[in-house]
Amino acid sequence: MKNSTTFRLCAVISLLFSLQSQSLYAQRDTSSVNSDLSTGPQNLIKASVTSVFLKTYVFQYERAIGKKTALALGFSFMPRSGPPLKGKIEDLVDDQETWDHVKDYQSSNYAITPEFRYYFGKGVFQGFYVAPFMRFAKYQVDLPFEYSYTLPPDENTIHDTLPMAGSINTFTGGILFGAQWKLSKVVYLDWWILGPNYGTASGSLKGNKALNEQEQTALRQQLDDLGDIPLVDTKYTVTADGVKADIDGPWAGVRAGINVGFRF
């Protein structure tokens, strides 16, 4: 009986020791991951190397918040300039009269983009990821609108320009698919494969100028022929004091590019 009791006591002690060892191992393993996250570099600062070809400068700050998750905040801006790839856009318009109206278009913009990232690789900052995001952008637009009209009694054709300017605000949401690689201890490559986004836009463009009746009629006709801005509802109002274009409706965009980042 005594030997049996001693055996059971030893078995219980062994079981408790085994469970305690497993518990300590699990705690040590978790603390190792947390220690690596808390003591190692948790931040990435990145810049796009492809957006400069579109006259835009894009930067992003990313911070790890978990073993496979991170938060990021992007900022981009484009100084006042004409449309990028102007020749390609002219080919796409495929209508000389429409192109003559908008060829001197210039704009500037900035955008703020917060996002949440989940990595499917071994850990944060590495491998394929998905990133839901929101995006607020503001566009400043200058559009010297060229128009023509005739004056009686000789029916001479007059060519003139109406300078229009204004701003458009957009708010969109989307999801970015991408992949990130570690090139060295501190250098990373982030590929934004595709980030479609969709939302709303609102704003207005104004052109203040004294217009006679012939000019007003010609402008109404030519603005109607020009049509709406793609994907956006545009309402034109022409008066003796000038033109106003109210913009309201859906807005769509795509994020893509290659970024180089530094971990710190």
pLDDT at 230: 56
Burial 42-56 (b: 16+ CB within 10 A, else e): bebebebeebeeebb
**Domain count along the chain:** 1
pLDDT confidence bin for 86, thresholds 50/70/90: low
Task: Give me the mean pLDDT over the 27-32 stretch.
Answer: 43
Task: Give me the mean pLDDT over the 103-122 stretch.
Answer: 92
pLDDT tens readout for residues 136-157? 999 999 988 888 888 777 778 8
Examine residue 217 and state whether it is found in any structural domain, yes or no: yes
**Nearest residue to 124 (alpha-carbon basis) of 57, 198, 245, 34:** 34
Give the SS3 label for residue 91: helix
Structure tokens at 11: 């078995």
Structure tokens at 132: 């839901």
pLDDT at 152: 77
Residue numbers of the domain that contains 136: 40-263
Task: Give me the mean pLDDT over the 117-128 stretch.
Answer: 95
Does the pLDDT at position 36 exceed 70?
no
pLDDT confidence bin for 24, thresholds 50/70/90: very low
pLDDT confidence bin for 20, thresholds 50/70/90: very low
Mean predicted lDDT score pLDDT of the chain: 82
pLDDT confidence bin for 73, thresholds 50/70/90: very high
Assign residue 164 the CATH number of its domain.
2.40.160
Does the pLDDT at position 27 exceed 60?
no
Does the pLDDT at position 173 exceed 80?
yes
pLDDT at 59: 98
Query: Which of 33-37, 133-137, 253-257 shows the lowest mean pLDDT across its residues?
Result: 33-37
Task: Give me the mean pLDDT over the 44-61 stretch.
Answer: 96
Examine residue 231 and state whether it is found in any structural domain, yes or no: yes
Phi-psi group of 257: left, alpha or beta (phi > 0 → left; psi -120 to 50 → alpha; rest → beta): left
Structure tokens at 38: 């808390």
Give the SS3 label for residue 54: helix
Give the SS3 label for residue 150: strand
Examine residue 25 and state whether it is found in any structural domain, yes or no: no
Examine residue 26 and state whether it is found in any structural domain, yes or no: no
> Between 144 and 96, whose confidence is greater?
144
Examine residue 27 and state whether it is found in any structural domain, yes or no: no
Examine residue 130 and state whether it is found in any structural domain, yes or no: yes
Examine residue 17 and state whether it is found in any structural domain, yes or no: no
**Nearest residue to 60 (alpha-carbon basis) of 49, 48, 70, 51:** 48
pLDDT confidence bin for 13, thresholds 50/70/90: very low
Distance from C-alpha of 225 to C-alpha of 220, rounded to nearest angstrom:
9
Element (H, E) at 252: strand 242-263
Does the pLDDT at position 101 exceed 90?
no
Task: Give me the mean pLDDT over the 87-96 stretch.
Answer: 60
> Between 32 and 61, whose confidence is greater?
61
Examine residue 50 and state whether it is found in any structural domain, yes or no: yes
Distance from C-alpha of 169 to C-alpha of 248, rounded to nearest angstrom:
10
Does the pLDDT at position 96 exceed 80?
no
